[in-house]
């Protein structure tokens, strides 16, 4: 088969799997698991073949126009360069791992068939975004992901948290998607085509009339999808979904789509220095803010969610300094280790019966209960904290190196201010990342107190994929940083000495400070008991997690934080902890700015409808009713009265007719 045929099959297979899963889910339950895993696995293999055949050489393009649309043509186009080929492989790898993991994680869930089909549809949409060479086709995949994430985040729709989180995720991403759509139209009007190749050629020749406007409009959509400040607030709440969904959405697919989109159209953004500075500032605020917030979270998955936002900030930072090779490199390695972190967190939540770090820190021997999760999560956290030689080190250093390169004065692509912003924020975030990674590791695996409950071994499907993902988390960066430039733009991705020493130094400092704080507070944990909320310990992992999330707010008063004085994050952040725990009150600001006015408007409309419009309607009904009541009084039941009235009427009519006839 030609490379084009294989590439078409990659998004098509999971889509067909999703359709078949939705149709056969009830009638043939035996086929649900194969239908979920096999198409995704085949798509992974095909994506790998496509990547090998493409090999970083000339990009594979193919296009067919289904039907003339009048003005700017919309084509079914493929555009596979090195970026697309490699991102597709990571998407396929993570999606396959998530599907396999889900068969164990949700093995008793009655809604597993629809869940698996939606995950397949989600995967297919992401493949479409990755391979598409036409912006409108890309938008189709982009929006399908949005609606799938709505359904998947709301998988446990019995709990109010999940319902609120799914609606929030959908609305916030849509808030970005509206300017995104307008930006796409403006871009296509300037370029005369929706084809990415044509758009890029137009940009190269300086044919773009409004580069700043287009770039800023597109950035709004990217911020919504990739959870960048100020549209990041949906992502921590989206943790109400099942853990495999968090791994899929937050590692390789939906949040990566925004970064990937900017990487694809980077010349468009580079045409406007205002857009690049905006991107840099956005990335800097996102990185530092999410690092501080992650340090104050109590829910293990919310820590990871904020860390995802921060790592995405690194990627947008790399894009802001014009190095998409570094951005996609970090996307690849982050995809592997973040998926691993989430999947391992799912195993830990199942074993501990709680998602609260405060409760886990009062449990001893948790690491003996889940040795696979312990070792793989240690690897992933080291990668997250960018400790050499784990893969996160190389990708993060490539980002910092690119920023440092810009500050040195080579400002052909990006303004120097962007370089400094990204570099300083990146180093600060490296410190914070190491701090919250250490805090997560210490609180989870080095708790002291009662022994963790023993539910026996975790299912094999859930532990094997952890080791599968641990391999790229460990080795991808070190093995790939020399070969990846051939696939990308050719920029050197090797870590430079200055940034490596600086980055690793601050990371070690962050880890050590957290460790010291933890040691300092060690005695306090025993004196302040905080109960774990283990419910249905024999149920499947999905059930345990759903109940853990639902009971967090009643037990600790908040979904995000716990009143735990032994938390090292509380000591390190000091007075900032209270604000960081609630994401620096951004939700409250949005509540005051958007939710309250909308609710006030809704109650005004309700008042107008109930009190004003309905008054007219009731008045229109009341007049005939009064008339009817008056006329009904004439109905006495005496037939003779009726006949008398009839006679009187006849006489009157006859007299009138006579008068008219005689001309009086």
Partner 1 sequence: MHLAYPAVLSALLFCTGLYGVLARRNAILILMSVELMLNAVNLNLVAFDVWLSRTAEETLHSGQALTLFTIAIAAAEIGIGLAIVLAVHRNRGTADIDRLRDTAEGHESPAADGPDSDTPATGTAAEKAEATA
Report if residue 647 touches partner 1, rule: CB under 8 A: yes
Q: How far is the CB of 631 from partner 1 (least distance, A)?
A: 9
- At 132 the three-state DSSP class reads strand
Of 304, 170, 160, 309, nearest to 243 (Cα)? 304
- Beta strands 76-80 and 60-64 are antiparallel
Residue 24, beta-bridge partner list: none
Report if residue 635 touches partner 1, rule: CB under 8 A: yes
Report if residue 643 touches partner 1, rule: CB under 8 A: yes
CA angle 143, 330, 59 (to 5 degrees): 65
Q: How far is the CB of 623 from partner 1 (least distance, A)?
A: 19
Half-sphere exposure in the Cβ direction for 118 (13 Å, CA): 22
Q: How far is the CB of 638 from partner 1 (least distance, A)?
A: 6
In 3-state terms the chain splits into helix, strand, coil percentages (rounded to 5) of: 75, 5, 20
CA angle 102, 172, 208 (to 5 degrees): 110
Closest CB to partner 1 among 646 and 659?
646
Binder among 619, 638, 661, 663 for partner 1 (CB under 8 A): 638
**Torsion over CA: 125, 325, 336, 445 (sign):** negative
Q: How far is the CB of 653 from partner 1 (least distance, A)?
A: 16
Closest CB to partner 1 among 553 and 643?
643
Closest CB to partner 1 among 23 and 645?
645
Q: How far is the CB of 168 from partner 1 (least distance, A)?
A: 53
Orientation of helix 135-153 relative to helix 254-264, angle to 10°? 160
Closest CB to partner 1 among 645 and 657?
645
Closest CB to partner 1 among 1 and 648?
648
Q: How far is the CB of 656 from partner 1 (least distance, A)?
A: 20
Binder among 538, 617, 632, 663 for partner 1 (CB under 8 A): 632
Q: Which residues of 99-125 are buried (b: 16+ CB within 10 A; e: fewer)?
A: bbbbbbbbeebeebbbbbbbbbbbbbb
Q: How far is the CB of 155 from partner 1 (least distance, A)?
A: 49
Helix or strand run (H / E) with residue 228:
none
Of 387, 113, 108, 127, nearest to 253 (Cα)? 127
Taking CB under 8 A as the criterion, which residues in 407-436 touch partner 1? Answer: none
Q: How far is the CB of 630 from partner 1 (least distance, A)?
A: 11
Q: Which of 354-362, 479-487, 603-611, 629-637 is the region at the interface with partner 1 (rule: CB under 8 A)?
A: 629-637
Q: How many CB atoms lie within 10 A of CB 192?
A: 14
Spatial CB neighbours of 113, under 8 Å, sequence gap ≥ 6: 21, 22, 24, 25, 26, 29, 32
Taking CB under 8 A as the criterion, which residues in 537-566 touch partner 1? Answer: none
Of 123, 227, 110, 117, nearest to 546 (Cα)? 110
Closest CB to partner 1 among 64 and 638?
638
Closest CB to partner 1 among 589 and 648?
648
Spatial CB neighbours of 197, under 8 Å, sequence gap ≥ 6: 61, 79, 133
Closest CB to partner 1 among 52 and 646?
646
Tokens of 58: 């000339």
Cα 212 to Cα 84, 104, 196, 324, distances in angstroms: 26, 48, 18, 19
Binder among 637, 661, 662, 663 for partner 1 (CB under 8 A): 637
Q: Which of 204-212, 484-492, 561-569, 639-647 is the region at the interface with partner 1 (rule: CB under 8 A)?
A: 639-647
Q: How far is the CB of 646 from partner 1 (least distance, A)?
A: 10
Of 278, 289, 359, nearest to 319 (Cα)? 278
x/- mask, partner 1, residues 580-619, rule CB under 8 A, reads ----------------------------------------
Q: How far is the CB of 233 from partner 1 (least distance, A)?
A: 59
CA angle 357, 360, 366 (to 5 degrees): 135
Q: How many residues bind partner 1 (CB under 8 A)?
A: 11
Q: How far is the CB of 652 from partner 1 (least distance, A)?
A: 16
Report if residue 644 touches partner 1, rule: CB under 8 A: yes
Helix or strand run (H / E) with residue 253:
none
Query: CA-CA distance, 54 to 57, in Å (whole number)?
Result: 6
Q: Which of 281-289, 309-317, 578-586, 640-648 is the region at the interface with partner 1 (rule: CB under 8 A)?
A: 640-648
Q: How far is the CB of 643 from partner 1 (least distance, A)?
A: 6
Q: How far is the CB of 639 from partner 1 (least distance, A)?
A: 6
Q: Which of 355-363, 401-409, 570-578, 636-644 is the region at the interface with partner 1 (rule: CB under 8 A)?
A: 636-644
Contact 252, 90 (CB under 8 A): yes
DSSP 266-334: HHHHHT-HHHHHHHHHHHHHHHHHHHHHHHH--BHHHHHHHHHHHHHHHHHHHHHTT-HHHHHHHHHHH
Q: Which of 374-382, 465-473, 541-549, 630-638 is the region at the interface with partner 1 (rule: CB under 8 A)?
A: 630-638
By the 10 Å C-beta count (0-12 exposed, 13-18 middle, 19+ buried), 212 is classed as middle
Tokens of 123: 């995967």
Q: How far is the CB of 116 from partner 1 (least distance, A)?
A: 54
Q: Which of 176-184, 207-215, 451-459, 643-651 is the region at the interface with partner 1 (rule: CB under 8 A)?
A: 643-651
Q: Which of 122-130, 518-526, 550-558, 641-649 is the region at the interface with partner 1 (rule: CB under 8 A)?
A: 641-649
x/- mask, partner 1, residues 225-264, rule CB under 8 A, reads ----------------------------------------
Report if residue 633 touches partner 1, rule: CB under 8 A: yes
CA angle 525, 528, 533 (to 5 degrees): 90
Cα 67 to Cα 72, 75, 138, distances in angstroms: 12, 8, 18
Binder among 58, 636, 660, 664 for partner 1 (CB under 8 A): 636
Report if residue 640 touches partner 1, rule: CB under 8 A: yes
Q: How far is the CB of 627 from partner 1 (least distance, A)?
A: 14
Closest CB to partner 1 among 512 and 643?
643
Binder among 66, 639, 660, 661 for partner 1 (CB under 8 A): 639
Q: Which residues bind partner 1 (CB under 8 A)?
A: 632-633, 635-640, 643-644, 647
């Amino acid at each position: 088969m030609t490379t084009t045929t294989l590439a078409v099959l990659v998004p098509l297979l999971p889509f067909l799997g999703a359709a078949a899963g939705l149709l056969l889910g009830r009638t043939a339950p035996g086929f649900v698991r194969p239908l979920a895993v096999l198409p995704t696995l085949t798509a992974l293999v095909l994506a790998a073949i496509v990547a090998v055949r493409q090999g970083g050489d000339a990009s594979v393009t193919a296009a067919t126009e289904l039907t003339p649309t009048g003005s700017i043509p919309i084509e079914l186009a493929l555009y596979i360069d090195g970026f697309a080929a490699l991102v597709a492989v990571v998407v396929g790898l993570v999606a396959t791992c998530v599907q396999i993991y889900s068969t164990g994680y949700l093995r008793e869930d009655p809604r597993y068939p629809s869940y698996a089909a939606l995950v397949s549809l989600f995967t297919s949409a992401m493949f479409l975004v990755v391979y598409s060479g036409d912006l409108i086709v890309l938008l189709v995949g982009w929006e399908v992901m949005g609606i799938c994430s709505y359904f998947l985040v709301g998988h446990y729709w019995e709990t109010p948290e999940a319902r609120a989180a799914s609606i929030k995720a959908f609305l916030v991403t849509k808030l970005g998607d509206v300017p995104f759509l307008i930006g796409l139209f403006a871009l296509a009007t300037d370029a005369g085509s929706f084809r990415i190749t044509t758009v890029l050629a137009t940009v190269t020749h300086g044919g773009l009339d409004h580069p700043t406007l287009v770039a800023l409009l597109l950035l709004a959509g990217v911020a919504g999808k990739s959870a960048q400040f100020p549209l990041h607030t949906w992502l921590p709440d989206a943790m109400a979904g099942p853990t495999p969904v968090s791994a899929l959405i937050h590692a390789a697919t939906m949040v990566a789509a925004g970064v990937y989109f900017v990487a694809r159209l980077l010349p468009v953004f580079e045409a406007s220095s205002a857009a690049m500075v905006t991107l840099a500032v956005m990335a800097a605020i996102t990185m530092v803010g999410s690092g501080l917030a992650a340090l104050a979270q109590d829910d293990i998955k919310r820590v990871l969610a904020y860390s995802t936002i921060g790592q995405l900030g690194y990627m947008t930072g790399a894009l802001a300094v014009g190095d998409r090779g570094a951005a996609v490199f970090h996307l690849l390695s982050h995809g592997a280790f973040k998926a691993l972190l989430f999947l391992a967190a799912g195993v830990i939540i199942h074993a501990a019966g709680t998602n609260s770090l405060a409760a886990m820190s009062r449990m001893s021997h948790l690491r003996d209960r889940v040795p696979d999760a312990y070792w793989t999560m240690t690897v992933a956290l080291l990668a997250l904290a960018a400790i050499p030689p784990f893969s996160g080190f190389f990708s993060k250093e490539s980002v910092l190196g690119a920023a440092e390169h810009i500050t040195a004065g080579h400002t052909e692509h990006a303004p120097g201010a962007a370089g400094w912003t990204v570099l300083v924020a990146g180093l600060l975030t490296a410190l914070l990342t190491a701090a919250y990674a250490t805090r997560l590791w210490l609180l989870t695996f080095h708790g002291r107190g009662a022994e963790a409950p023993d539910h026996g071994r975790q299912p094999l499907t859930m532990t094997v994929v952890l080791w599968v993902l641990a391999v790229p988390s460990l080795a991808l960066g070190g093995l790939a940083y020399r070969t990846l430039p051939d696939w990308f733009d050719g920029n050197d991705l090797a870590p430079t000495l200055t940034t490596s020493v600086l980055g690793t130094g601050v990371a070690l400092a962050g880890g050590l400070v957290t460790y010291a704080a933890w040691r300092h507070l060690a005695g306090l944990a025993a004196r302040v008991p905080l109960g774990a909320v283990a419910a249905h310990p024999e149920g499947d992992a999905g059930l345990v997690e759903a109940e853990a999330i639902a009971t967090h707010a009643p037990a600790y008063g908040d979904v995000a934080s716990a009143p735990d004085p032994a938390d090292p994050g509380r000591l390190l952040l000091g007075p900032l902890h209270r604000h960081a725990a609630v994401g620096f009150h951004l939700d409250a600001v949005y509540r005051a700015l958007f939710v309250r006015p909308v609710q006030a408007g809704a109650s005004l409309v309700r008042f107008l409808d109930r009190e004003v419009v309905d008054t007219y309607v009731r008045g229109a009904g009341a007049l005939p009713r009064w008339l009817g009541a008056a006329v009904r009084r004439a109905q006495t039941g005496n037939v003779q009265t009726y006949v008398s009235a009839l006679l009187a009427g006849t006489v009157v009519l006859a007299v009138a007719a006579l008068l008219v006839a005689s001309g009086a």
